[in-house]
C-alpha cells in the first residue's frame, strides 16, 4: 500500500511553481528584500514590547496560584499609602534586602565594629536621591513604604530610651535593630545618661544593651538575624543581619522612581568595598538587570554567528572547481535565514506581540536550521543529469527536494505551534516567534533563495567562474569512438566528479552502506540501540523537575550569592501563608457560633510541618472581649463588638483582615496569616499541596496563598504538559509523515524514531545535569520537528523507488541525504554553540539539550533508521550486470521507477573499470 497521492500532487505543484520562478527570478529576489525592509520597522517597538524577566513568565497561565492571588488581591487589597505590615503583604514588588556579614563569614556580625559599619552603610543607602521627570530630587523617605511601630519594638524602645515620646511613630521599612543602634548613638538624651566612667565604649555598651533587651520570642526582630547563637535566654552572636526595604509603586510614576532607586542601589553596592563587612543584596530589578547581561552577550554573538555559519556553508558548497563552487548560493541561504529572523521579529512587534529574554536564543536556531535545506537542494542538484536543460533540472530538483523541504518546514512549524499552546508564558512567547520565523524561512527559501539558486545553476551550466562570472574553457570534451577507453573514462570522470558527486556522498553510497548491510554490523547496531533505549529509560527515572530562582541568573551574578545566603541564613524570611474564608454570610451553621467554627478552621493551619503560630485577628478579638468588663460575646452583639475592636488604634492592622457585608450586619470574609518554616526550594511543592488539601477539606469556603506558590506551580505543571505536548506534536507529525511519505511502514519507522529520540532526550538530560523545566520543554518540543527533519528525508528517499531491492534503495537514499544530514547537524551545532557565551543555566541547558537533540536525531537518521528500513522491507526488483568484452567494462542495469539515483542511473548505463572494482556493491559511482 502506497499513500503517495499527496506527495505526487506536491511534486507536480513544485514543478509548475519553479517554472514561474524561472520566468521572473528578479521579482522573487527583490520582493522578499522589500518586505524585510518594511517589517524591520517593527523592531523600533522593541523597548515598548519587551517584558522584563518576572516570575509570572514561568508560572502556568492556568495555575491555581494565579487565581488565588487574584482573589486575595480583590478581597484584601493593600495600598502603598497604608501602613506596611510585612505579614500581610502578598505583593513582593519593589521590595528587597541587603545582607551584611563579617568580612570573614564565619565570624560574629554582632560586634561593635561590624555593627557600626552596617549602620553607616544603611545610612548611606537611605541618603540616596534620584531625579523625577521634572529633575526634582526625590529622597528615600519620599519613596519608601512606612510601617508603624510594633508593640515589640515599642517595648524595646521603652527599655532603651528614657524619653520614648521623642521617637517617630512610623519608620521606613528597615531593620529595627540597626535603626535603634543608630538612635542610641545619635540621641543626646542617651549620651548624657551614660556615665563617662564606663570602661566600655559607647558602641560596645549600646550593642550589649540591645542584646539584653531583644525578646527571643519576637519573631519580627529575630527573623532579621541569621545564624543566631544563644547563651541561655540571650543572644550571644549571629552570622548575618538583613536590612530590608520596601518602595512605593502604586502608580507608574512611583514604579519608575522605585526602579531608578533600586538600580542606583545595585550600582553602589557593586563598587562598595569595606575591610570589615561583606554585602549581598537582592532587589526587585535583580532578575531583569542580570538577565540583561545574557541578552547583551547574545546580541554581541549574532554577527559572529552569522559570519561563522556563512563561512561554514560557503566551505561546504565549494569544491576544487571555479565553475562548480557555489559561494554566493551558500551566502544567499544564510542571508535568507537572517531575513526570516528580521521579518518574523518585526512582524510580531508590529502586531503588538510581547518579547522576552528567551527569544534571544531563537536567531541562533533559525540561522542554523535555516541553512539545512541548502544542503538538501544542493544534493538534489548533484543527482540530476548534466545533459538535461536548466529548466528540466530545476523542475526535477523541486519535484523531489520541494517535498522534503515542505515536510521539514511543516513538522517544525507544527512542533512550535504545539509549543504555543502550552500554559507557560515564556514557552508561548518563544514558540510564537520561532513559528513565524520558520514560516518566513520556508517562504523566503521558495522565493529569495530559489532565485539565487536559478542564477547559480545557470552560471554553472555555462561554465562561468563562481567569483568573476567569466566564461571558462572546459578541459576535456568527449567526441566519440576515436578516443581510447582510458580517455573515455577520464572524460566521464572530469565531466561529472564536480557536478554530481561529493566525497561523503560516495562514502555513504559505497563503504558506509556496505557496512550497514553486513549482518554482523546490524546485530551490533541493534544491540547498541537496545542499550541506548534501556539507558535512556533509566535516565527518565532520575529526571529532576522544576526551575529554581537562581537558575535564572548568570553564574557570576551577585544575585546568586544573595539567594544562597538568604537560603542559608534566612530561609523563612518574609514567608507567610495567607488563609482566608469567604461567603461566610451565606453559610448555614445551625446553632453553632461563627467565631467557634472559624477558630477551628484556623487551628488546622497552625503548627504543621511547615507552619508555626497564626497571627489571627480572632484570637486577639476573643481576648479583647474576654477582658472587656461588662460584655459577653453572643450572636447578637458579635458584629457590634467586632466594629468596636477594629476601631481601636492598637488593632488597626486587623482592619485589612475583616470584610463585612454591604449593610455592615454580617461577616463576609476573614483572613489570617501564618508564619512559615522549612519551606526551602526542596519543600515548596509539598508545602503547597498540604495547605491546599487543608483548604479543600475544610468546612468553610477557604483559600490559601503564599508567594512561593507561583514558582512551585511549575513543578506540578511541567511534566504533564511536556508529555501532552509530545503526544500532540508527535501525533500531528506522524500524520504529516503518513501523508507525505508514500509508504506506511516507512512512516511507522519515522514515528518510532520520534518516540525513541524523545525518550533519549528526556533520559540523557538527567546525565547532563539538565532538569525538566520550561527551557528543556522548549527544546523537547523542537526535537520532534528536528528528528523528523533528518529521518523523514531518509525515509522519503528510501521509499520512492519501485521494483528495486532494499539494498539499492538504501544506497541511493544515503547517497542523496547522508551528506546533507551530516552538514545540517554540524551547521546547527556550530550555530547554537554561540549560545554558550551566555552564563545563565537557562541558556546553558538550552545549548545542552539542543546538542543532545541534534546528536540523537543524526544517529537515528544515518544509523538506526537505515537498519530498521532494510531489515523489515521486502526486496523488490533485481540488478543485472553483464560484461562488455570490447571495452573491458561492466555494464549494470537497475530496474527503477521514479527514484533519484546517482549519475543518471535511471535508464542509463553505469560504467566502471573492472580492474579496480570486483564487487558491484563497492563500485565508485561517479
pLDDT, tens digit, for every residue of 130-189? Answer: 988 888 899 988 888 877 665 555 555 555 444 444 445 567 776 666 666 555 555 544
**SS3 for 170?**
strand
DSSP state, 509? Answer: I
**Quick one: pLDDT at residue 386?**
74
Between the CA atoms of 16, 17, 20 and 21, what dihedral angle is there, to the nearest 10 degrees? -130
pLDDT at 87: 79
Average pLDDT of span 444-450: 91
Nearest residue to 684 (alpha-carbon basis) of 658, 707, 704, 650: 707
Q: What is the mean pLDDT of residues 654-664?
A: 90
Does 574 or 45 have the greater pLDDT score?
Answer: 45
Residue 530, C-alpha cell as written in the block? 537496545
CB 336 within 8 A of CB 449: yes
Binning pLDDT at 50, 70 and 90, where does residue 477 land?
Answer: very low
The answer, yes or no, to whether residue 790 has pLDDT greater than 50, is yes
pLDDT digits (tens, 9 = 90+) for 376-387: 787 777 777 777
Please report the domains of the chain, with CATH numbers, ordered by start residue. Answer: 5-54+289-470+480-549+713-872 (1.20.1640.10), 93-283 (no CATH), 576-706 (no CATH)
- Of 727 and 86, the one with more pLDDT: 727
Rounded Cα–Cα distance for residues 887 and 512 (Å): 30
pTM of the full predicted structure?
0.81
Which pLDDT belongs to residue 85?
77
Determine the Cα–Cα distance for residues 858 and 372; give it in Å rounded to an integer. 13
- Answer whether residue 279 shows pLDDT above 80: yes
Strand partners, 879: 894
Percent of the chain past pLDDT 90, that is, above it, reads 23
CA distances from 853 to 34, 203, 693, 825, 833 (A): 35, 62, 39, 10, 13
Mean pLDDT of 95-120: 86
Cell numbers at 526, concatenated: 541493534
Q: What's the pLDDT score for residue 896?
A: 37
List C-alpha distances in Å: 673 to 499, 659, 684, 760: 77, 15, 17, 46
CB neighbour class for 1 (10 Å; exposed up to 12, middle 13-18, buried from 19): exposed
Does pLDDT of 866 surpass 50?
yes
> Residue 900 is placed in which grid cell?
533519484
Res 524: pLDDT: 94
User: What is the overall mean pLDDT for the chain?
Assistant: 79
Q: Which residue has better confidence, 887 or 578? A: 578
Core vs surface per residue 620-642: b (16+ CB within 10 A) or e:
ebbebbeeeeeeebeeeebeebb
State in Å, rounded, how far the first CA of the chain is from the last one: 34
Residue 473: band (very low, low, confident or very high) from pLDDT cuts 50, 70, 90: low
Pick from 71, 88, 220: nearest CA to 578: 88
pLDDT for 454 beyond 50: yes
**At residue 735, does pLDDT exceed 50?**
yes
- Written in H, E and C, the secondary structure of 641-693 is HHHHHHHCHHHHHHHHHEEECCCCCCEEEEEEEEEECCCCHHHHHHHHHHHHH
Q: What's the average model confidence in pLDDT over 195-199? A: 39
Confidence of residue 443 (pLDDT cuts 50, 70, 90): very high
Mean pLDDT calculated for residue range 3-25: 80
pLDDT at site 1: 44
Give the tens place of pLDDT for each residue, 903-914: 333 333 332 333
Query: Helical H runs in 61-175?
Result: 64-75, 112-126, 140-143, 151-160
pLDDT band at 430, cuts 50/70/90?
very high
Grid cell 532565485 is found at: 451
**pLDDT exceeds 60 at position 420:** yes
Q: What is the pLDDT of residue 21?
A: 87
Distance CA 661, CA 650 (A): 24
Cβ–Cβ < 8 Å for 374, 330:
yes
| pLDDT for residue 432 | 94
Task: Tell me what percent of the residues of the chain surpass a pLDDT of 70.
Answer: 80
**pLDDT over 90 at 714, yes or no:** no
Distance CA 831, CA 814 (A): 25
Higher pLDDT, 438 or 12: 438
| Whole-number Å distance between alpha carbons of 715 and 548 | 10
The answer, yes or no, to whether residue 350 has pLDDT greater than 90, is yes
Q: Which residues contact 616 (CB under 8 A, 6 or more apart)?
A: 602, 672
Place 900 in a pLDDT band, splitting at 50, 70 and 90.
very low
Residue 491 has a pLDDT of: 45
pLDDT for res 388? 82
Q: What pLDDT was estimated at residue 903?
A: 36
Question: What does the chain come to in residues?
Answer: 926
For residue 336, what pLDDT band results from cuts at 50, 70 and 90?
Answer: very high
- Of 742 and 266, the one with more pLDDT: 266
What mean pLDDT comes out for the span 858-886? 67
Amino acid at each position: 500500500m502506497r499513500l503517495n497521492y499527496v506527495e505526487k500532487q506536491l511534486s507536480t505543484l513544485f514543478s509548475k511553481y519553479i517554472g514561474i520562478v524561472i520566468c521572473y527570478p528578479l521579482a522573487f529576489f527583490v520582493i522578499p528584500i522589500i518586505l524585510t525592509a518594511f517589517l524591520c520597522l517593527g523592531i523600533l517597538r522593541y523597548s515598548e514590547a519587551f517584558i522584563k524577566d518576572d516570575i509570572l513568565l514561568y508560572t502556568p497561565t492556568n495555575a491555581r496560584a494565579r487565581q488565588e492571588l487574584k482573589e486575595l488581591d480583590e478581597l484584601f487589597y493593600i495600598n502603598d499609602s497604608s501602613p506596611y505590615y510585612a505579614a500581610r503583604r502578598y505583593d513582593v514588588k519593589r521590595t528587597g534586602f541587603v545582607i551584611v556579614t563579617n568580612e570573614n563569614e564565619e565570624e560574629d556580625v554582632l560586634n561593635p565594629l561590624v555593627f557600626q559599619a552596617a549602620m553607616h552603610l544603611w545610612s548611606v543607602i537611605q541618603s540616596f536621591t534620584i531625579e523625577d521627570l521634572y529633575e526634582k530630587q526625590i529622597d528615600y523617605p519620599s519613596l519608601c513604604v512606612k510601617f508603624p511601630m510594633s508593640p515589640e519594638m515599642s517595648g524595646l524602645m521603652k527599655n532603651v530610651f528614657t524619653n520614648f515620646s521623642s521617637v517617630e511613630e512610623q519608620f521606613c521599612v528597615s531593620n529595627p535593630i540597626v535603626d535603634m543602634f543608630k538612635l542610641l548613638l545619635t540621641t543626646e538624651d542617651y549620651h548624657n545618661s551614660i556615665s563617662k566612667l564606663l570602661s566600655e565604649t559607647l558602641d560596645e555598651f549600646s550593642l550589649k544593651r540591645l542584646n539584653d533587651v531583644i525578646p527571643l520570642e519576637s519573631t519580627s526582630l529575630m527573623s532579621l538575624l541569621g545564624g543566631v547563637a544563644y547563651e541561655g535566654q540571650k543572644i550571644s552572636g549571629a552570622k548575618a543581619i538583613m536590612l530590608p526595604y520596601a518602595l512605593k509603586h502604586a502608580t507608574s510614576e512611583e514604579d519608575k522612581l522605585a526602579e531608578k532607586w533600586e538600580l542606583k542601589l545595585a550600582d553602589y553596592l557593586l563598587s562598595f568595598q569595606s575591610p570589615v563587612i561583606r554585602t549581598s543584596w537582592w532587589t526587585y530589578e535583580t532578575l531583569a538587570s542580570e538577565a540583561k547581561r545574557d541578552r547583551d552577550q547574545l546580541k554581541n554573538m549574532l554577527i559572529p554567528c552569522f559570519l561563522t555559519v556563512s563561512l561554514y556553508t560557503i566551505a561546504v558548497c565549494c569544491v576544487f572547481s571555479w565553475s562548480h563552487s557555489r559561494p554566493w548560493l551558500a551566502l544567499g541561504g544564510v542571508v535568507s535565514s537572517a531575513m526570516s529572523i528580521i521579518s518574523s521579529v518585526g512582524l510580531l512587534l508590529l502586531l503588538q506581540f510581547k518579547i522576552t529574554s528567551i527569544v534571544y536564543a531563537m536567531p541562533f536556531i533559525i540561522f542554523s536550521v535555516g541553512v539545512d535545506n541548502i544542503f538538501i537542494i544542493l544534493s538534489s542538484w548533484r543527482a540530476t543529469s548534466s545533459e538535461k536543460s536548466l529548466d528540466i533540472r530545476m523542475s526535477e530538483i523541486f519535484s523531489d527536494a520541494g517535498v522534503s523541504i515542505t515536510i521539514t518546514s511543516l513538522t517544525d512549524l507544527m512542533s512550535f505551534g504545539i509549543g504555543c499552546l502550552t500554559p507557560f508564558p515564556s514557552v508561548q512567547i518563544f514558540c510564537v516567534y520561532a513559528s513565524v520565523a520558520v514560516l518566513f524561512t520556508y517562504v523566503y527559501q521558495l522565493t529569495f533563495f530559489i532565485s539565487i539558486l536559478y542564477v547559480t545553476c545557470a552560471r554553472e551550466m555555462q561554465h562561468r567562474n563562481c567569483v568573476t562570472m567569466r566564461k571558462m574553457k572546459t578541459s576535456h570534451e568527449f567526441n566519440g569512438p576515436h578516443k581510447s577507453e582510458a580517455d573515455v573514462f577520464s572524460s566521464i570522470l572530469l565531466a561529472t566528479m564536480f557536478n554530481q558527486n561529493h566525497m561523503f556522498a560516495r562514502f555513504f553510497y559505497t563503504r558506509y552502506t556496505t557496512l550497514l548491510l553486513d549482518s554482523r554490523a546490524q546485530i551490533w547496531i541493534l544491540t547498541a540501540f537496545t542499550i541506548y533505549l534501556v539507558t535512556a529509560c533509566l535516565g527518565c527515572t532520575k529526571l529532576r523537575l522544576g526551575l529554581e530562582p537562581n537558575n535564572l541568573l548568570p553564574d557570576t551574578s551577585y544575585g546568586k550569592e544573595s539567594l544562597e545566603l538568604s537560603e542559608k541564613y534566612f530561609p523563612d524570611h518574609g514567608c507567610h501563608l495567607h488563609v482566608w474564608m469567604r461567603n461566610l454570610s451565606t453559610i448555614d451553621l445551625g446553632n453553632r457560633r461563627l467565631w467557634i467554627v472559624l477558630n477551628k478552621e484556623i487551628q488546622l493551619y497552625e503548627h504543621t510541618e511547615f507552619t508555626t503560630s497564626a497571627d489571627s485577628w480572632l484570637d486577639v478579638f476573643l481576648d479583647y472581649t474576654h477582658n472587656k468588663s461588662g460584655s459577653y460575646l453572643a450572636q447578637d452583639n458579635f458584629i457590634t463588638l467586632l466594629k468596636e475592636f477594629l476601631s481601636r488604634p492598637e488593632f488597626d492592622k486587623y482592619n485589612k483582615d475583616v470584610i463585612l457585608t454591604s449593610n455592615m450586619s454580617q461577616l463576609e470574609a476573614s483572613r489570617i496569616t501564618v508564619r512559615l518554616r522549612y519551606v526551602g526550594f526542596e519543600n515548596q511543592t509539598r508545602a503547597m499541596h498540604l495547605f491546599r488539601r487543608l483548604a479543600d477539606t475544610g468546612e468553610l469556603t477557604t483559600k490559601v496563598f503564599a508567594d512561593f506558590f507561583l514558582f512551585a506551580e511549575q513543578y506540578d505543571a511541567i511534566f504533564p504538559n511536556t508529555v501532552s505536548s509530545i503526544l500532540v506534536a508527535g501525533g500531528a507529525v506522524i500524520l504529516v509523515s503518513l501523508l507525505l511519505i508514500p509508504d506506511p511502514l516507512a512512516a511507522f519507522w519515522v514515528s518510532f524514531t520520534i518516540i525513541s529520540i524523545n525518550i533519549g532526550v528526556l533520559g540523557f538530560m538527567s546525565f547532563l545535569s539538565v532538569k525538566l523545566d520550561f527551557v528543556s520543554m522548549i527544546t523537547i518540543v523542537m526535537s520532534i520537528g528536528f528528528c523528523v527533519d533528518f529521518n523523514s528525508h531518509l525515509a522519503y528517499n528510501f521509499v520512492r523507488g519501485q521494483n528495486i531491492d532494499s539494498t539499492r534503495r538504501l544506497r541511493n537514499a544515503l547517497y542523496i541525504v547522508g551528506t546533507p544530514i551530516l552538514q545540517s547537524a554540524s551547521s546547527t551545532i556550530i550555530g547554537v554553540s554561540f549560545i554558550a557565551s551566555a552564563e545563565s543555566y537557562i541558556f546553558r541547558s538550552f545549548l545542552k539539550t539542543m546538542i543532545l537533540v541534534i546528536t540523537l536525531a543524526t544517529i537515528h537518521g544515518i544509523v538506526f533508521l537505515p537498519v530498521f528500513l532494510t531489515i523489515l522491507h521486502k526486496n523488490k526488483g533485481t540488478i543485472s550486470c553483464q560484461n562488455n568484452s570490447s571495452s573491458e567494462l561492466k555494464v549494470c542495469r537497475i530496474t527503477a521507477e521514479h527514484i533519484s539515483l546517482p549519475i543518471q542511473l535511471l535508464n542509463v548505463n553505469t560504467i566502471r573499470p573492472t580492474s579496480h572494482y570486483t564487487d558491484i556493491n563497492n563500485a565508485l559511482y561517479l
